[in-house]
Structure 1
């Protein structure tokens, strides 16, 4: 099974390009993105951000974090139910409980009807 890795250096370089284009300091980036300055310092030293920091920085910069994931030689497609679950949980019209209930219904039906 292929092991995916996150290219933190490339993500940081893209963040830096965004920062420079917006003519901001790293301190301003931290404030606007809602991350600590130490998160950015650690990234500058080659360390990876935590998942919440990554999400905040990706949202701030409009960078797609998935672009920086190296999947090795894997050509695997995501599981259908996993993708449906992602959409359900992102739907602002559904509560977390409602999304989970729909996910359970769809997963049960899908597993009974899919080709073996």
Structure 2
């Protein structure tokens, strides 16, 4: 694979999360399970090793693909989607499963609610076959309000 780590994007995400949680770089390193020197090297433009990269994106709770660039991608800019976008339900499931502040039973309950909601949206015709929610369907009376005919 010819992709590379978008180091500025990763470093910026780590810094934003660090600031939001009022952590020092040393505390971030300890929580993420990496050495402080790894973070120092990254701030000087050196890429982390694979294990360090994995630990950092797991600490962020963000898919690794968010920090990958491909030849021709502009540095520091999110790469365009390569391949199909996952369904909303899949994206929400990934986000929920990455949370460590919710008990497993609560995650499952929320996933059931998301699944039921998505089935309802699809049944009502407010989502296309890929699970994308849109306003393609006009209501029965033509008012533009999908709930007016109920």
TM bracket (short chain): 0.5 to 0.7
- Distance apart, 1:68 and its partner CA: 1.5
Please say if 1:7 is aligned against 2:15.
Answer: no
Question: In the alignment, which residue of structure 2 is the partner of 1:61?
Answer: 60
Where structure 2 has 5 or more consecutive residues not aligned to the other structure, the ranges are: 73-80, 84-150
Distance 1:65 1:40 in 2: 17
Distance 1:40 1:71 in 2: 23
Q: Equivalent residues in 2 for 1:8-87 (5 A)? A: 8-72=7-71
Deviations 1:42-82 (A, max 9, x none): 00101111000011111111122211211236x976xxxxx
Which portions of structure 1, spanning 4 or more consecutive aligned residues, are displaced by more than 6 angstroms? none
Q: Which has the higher contact order (CA 8 A, sep 6+)?
A: 1
Q: Alignment RMSD, CA only?
A: 2.3
Distance 2:62 2:82 in 1: 23
- Which structure's CA Rg is the greater one? 2
Where structure 1 has 5 or more consecutive residues not aligned to the other structure, the ranges are: 78-116
The count of residues paired between Structure 1 and Structure 2 equals 76
TM-score calculated relative to the size of structure 2: 0.46
TM-score calculated relative to the size of structure 1: 0.58
Indicate the structure with greater helix content: 1
